[in-house]
Structure 1
Amino acid sequence: MHALPEDHIGVRMARLRRERHLTQKAASDLTGIPYSTYTKTEQGVIAATPHVIAAFARGLRLEVATVVGQPYAEDLRADELDVLIRPIREALDIYDLGADPDVQPRRLEELDDDAEALLVSVRAGKIKKAASNVAGLIEEGTTAAHSLNSTEGWLTLASFYRTAYDVATKLGFSDLAQLALARMDWAAQRGSDAVLGGMYQYLRALTYLREGKFEIGQRLVTRGLATLQQADESRERDVVVGQLHLGGAVMAGRAHDENKALSHLGEAERIAGTTGEAIKVHYLTFGPTNVRVHRVSVLAELDQYGEAVEATGNLAIPEDWPKSRTSHHYAEVARAQMWTNDLEGSFKSLLQARRAAPQQAKYHPTVRETYAGLEAAHRRLPESFLSFGSWLSAGTGQVA
């Protein structure tokens, strides 16, 4: 029998509340979560939404990661992923030590190829592969960048740092993700790349989105857009501008600011009409498809779950879309379907999320919380439902 439902977010909220000697009513008042919603969430009658999680974390002055239980230490240990984190942390710490005399870096062209391969691995959902390689490449790239002191060298190092951010984010190490972002900005500034500077602000805004700090996130979106005004006109710049608007749309949606969310979406849609599908531009997957996918996410964040499910109609995910982005989309769809009481459809979407990128799905909070929300009704779902829970808590990271 799987362990997830016994440790869903509601259970954690109750424990954290009691540790602070708060009643449910006091916690409801402190967080601004309606009392009925609060009690049902604690009891597991309804799943915790990102908005509720963020409000609870803010009210009790906690990290969102604490509320959702990340990083999932036991599972990471079982999948032998925990041992890969320390080398990444150590590699990020040597950024300012100059060239290492014991490291003989390869040609920059070879390092560029490796940087590209890392980005491809992450987008394919191969997190363990990227995590296994990135620390050594950061060390090599650090020496190369200091030795060459060229724009190209610093931007290659910035790309390695970005992969460290991606890995840390997907495995739930928020502190490590923030450190990797700071290093990415440091290298990007030395490479004098305004577009990369704008993308840094986008990724930084996402860290605040995950922490439930929406006002700061929106300020970073605004700063990113201002940074990009300094860049020359190009399709690359437009893609990052459009992605910033998509990030701003989700940010506003989670803050339940519908007008701002739809305004950001509208601007992103306008830009996507110009850029077309730009899947590989900084691997942001920007384009008309991503705008439609984000519309589903935004409607779900606004608690308009029926409209979110309706927005998936005739939405075809391209074959060449990154598996990681596809998996994330199906996780969002599963959550919306659960809230519309389409339990079978929700479970099917969870299976699609797993099929697209099993390692990512296993460590995705939305997958876990949606599964926990469905657990109470498992008798109405296929027999394979319980085996899905066993997979989530097993040490494989692969499709069972």
Structure 2
Amino acid sequence: MPRLDDDHTGTRIKEQRRLARLSQRELAVRIPYSYSWLTQVECGARPASADFTAAVARALRVDVTVLTGQPYVTQLHQDRLADLVRPIREALDLYDLGPDPDLATRAPDRLIAAADTLCEQVRATRLHTAAAALPDTITELTTAAWQTPSTALWQALASTYRTAHDISVKLGYYDLSSVALDRMDWAAHRASDPRLSAVRQYMRALVYFREGEYSIGRRLIGSGQDILGQSDETRESLAVAGQLHLGASVIAARAEDESAVATHIAEASAYAARVGEAADVHWLSFGPTNVAMHSMSAAVEMRHFDDALKQAKQIRPPASLATSRRAHFLIDKARSEMELGRAEASLKSLVAARRAAPEQTRYHPGARETIRGLVHLTRRTPDSLGSMAAWVGM
């Protein structure tokens, strides 16, 4: 078995707990997990799941990234992604400066198409390609929208801000993702597009979901539903409404509210029956397949791993499903398999996630913790698992 590094979520939890002057027993009474569970995570004998880490972060009043160690700078430099972050940050700061008189921009239709291409690249998990092109597209759209304001240009600019959020989250720069969402709201208001504003509230809710602030997440979902009520009933608005229910379902699952989970999944299913597979609507991947995947994710969040795997076996992702969503499903499946002691199946799911979406999988904290769990679970580590552990930096 390879020797894992000592810099992992458990050791960071121990460090922050000591800084807060809490014993293990004192911290354990503040989280919905046992003393034994906490001690195993701290010593590295048990992986720190996303729900566990969020609960500890909330109890210690620190950001989740303090405990996960994100962004994973060493790997980001290896993949030549770290250098792409600052230009995105700078482009996001141009929003209120008006048009740049020295900048030559592409024609509006080409800029709008470029914004859609960026969304497509992120869904295909081509993060390096999207991150490299994003700053120039934001910069040009900012000038174009100020020079010749139109609904279509403001919508496209809001879309690029949403892409900045997506990339920032996947690479672990959560501070930057919050800035991007603020810019998205700013542009959505200028586009007078309540659907975009509702999508932004959905994404804000997931930020609080990651941080373990479930009551705020639920309020943001409610706010998104209220905003969406200002728009006409179209296929687009129905898909956004359904996605809001999916967001609410996983938040309810983390809050261990099974009744609310069932209600939101049922509501989302009703919307999906009306719109079908709607991957083209705001790049949300909404539809019957995504509803099924969220139902399975909710089971994982509630630690109903047997149920999660039963659901996973019934899911047949269509070819049109975004690669990013497919990889997320495989990572959830791998965690359930690992928790049930099915090491070989779990590793197979992780390898499939890596094959489909290498950049997303490498920087996904859940994938990392599952790999760590597998190393401890497996008495004799196969070469493929050792390779995966080294690949993510363990």
Could you say which TM-score interval applies, normalised by the shorter chain?
over 0.9
User: CA distance change for structure 1 residues 152 and 315 in 2, over 3 Å: closer, same or farther?
Assistant: same
1:155-212 superposed Cα distances (whole Å, 9 cap, x missing partner):
1111111111111010010110000000000000000001111111111111111111
1:24-43 Cα offsets, whole Å, 9 max, x none, are: 11121233432122112222
For 2:279 and 2:314, how far apart are their aligned partners in 1? 20
Q: Could you say which residue in structure 1 is the equivalent of 2:354?
A: 354
CA contact (8 A) 2:2 2:381 kept: no
C-alpha distance in structure 2 between counterparts of 1:136 and 1:207, whole Å: 26
The alignment yields a C-alpha RMSD, in angstroms, of 1.5
Cα distance in 1 between the residues matched to 2:210 and 2:378: 29
* Alpha-carbon contact 1:2-1:390 (below 8 Å) kept: no
Unaligned 5+ segments in structure 2 are none
The residue type equivalent to 1:346 in the other structure is S
Matched residue, 2:371: 371
Distance 1:104 1:4 in 2: 51
Name the counterpart of 2:128.
128
Rounded Cα–Cα distance in structure 2 between residues aligned with 1:166 and 1:97: 24
Instruction: Name the amino acid aligned to 1:8.
Output: H
Are the aligned partners of 1:50 and 1:254 in contact in 2 as well (CA < 8 Å)? no
The alignment partner of 2:318 has SS state of: coil
Question: Following the alignment from structure 1 to structure 2, what is the Cα–Cα distance between the partners of residues 355 and 27?
Answer: 39
Query: What amino acid does structure 1 have at the position aligned with 2:264?
Result: H
Q: Distance in 1 between matches of 2:4 and 2:362?
A: 12
Contact 1:199/1:224 (8 A) holds in 2: yes
Residue aligning to 1:242: 242
Q: CA separation in 2, counterparts of 1:226 and 1:392? A: 41
Residue pairs, 1:1-400, within 5 angstroms: 6-380=6-380, 382-393=382-393
CA distance in 1, matches of 2:263, 2:43: 36
More deviation in 8-17 or 357-366? 8-17
* Deviation for aligned residue 1:380: 4.5
- With over 3 angstroms needed to count, the CA separation of the structure-2 counterparts of 1:289 and 1:215, relative to structure 1, is same
Amino acid in structure 2 at the alignment position of 1:252: A
1:381 deviates by: 5.0
Aligned 8 A contact 1:5 1:375 in 2: no
1:31 alignment partner, SS class: coil
Of residues 325-334 and 44-53 in structure 1, the stretch that sits farther from structure 2 once superposed is 44-53
Partner Cα separation in structure 1 for residue 4 and residue 181 of structure 2: 31
Measured against aligned partners, the alpha-carbon deviations of 1:66-97 in whole angstroms (never above 9, x if no partner) come to: 11111111111221111111111111111000
1:398 corresponds to which residue? Answer: none
**Alignment check: 8 A CA contact 2:112 2:152 kept:** no
CA distance in 2, matches of 1:331, 1:323: 12
Distance 1:328 1:246 in 2: 15
TM-score, normalised relative to structure 2:
0.97
Q: Secondary structure at the match of 1:6?
A: coil
What stretches of structure 1 of length at least 5 have no aligned partner?
395-400
Q: Which deviates more from structure 2 when the two are superposed, residues 43-52 or residues 56-65?
A: 43-52
Letter in 1 for 2:159: S
Which residue number corresponds to residue 397 of structure 1? none
In 2, Cα distance between equivalents of 1:276 and 1:252: 24
C-alpha contact (below 8 Å) 1:378/1:385 kept by paired residues: no
Q: Indicate conservation of the 8 Å contact 1:279/1:321, yes or no.
A: yes
Query: Offset at 1:4?
Result: 5.5
Q: CA deviation at 1:393?
A: 2.3
1:2/1:393 contact within 8 Å kept: no
AA matched with 1:71:
P
Distance 1:60 1:308 in 2: 30
Amino acid at match of 1:274: R
Deviates more, 1:251-260 or 1:47-56: 47-56
- What is the TM-score when the length of structure 1 is the normalising length? 0.95
Number of equivalences: 394
1:331 is displaced (CA, Å) by: 0.4
Q: Letter of the aligned partner of 1:295 in structure 2?
A: S
Distance 2:312 2:8 in 1: 27
The amino acid of 1:315's aligned partner reads I
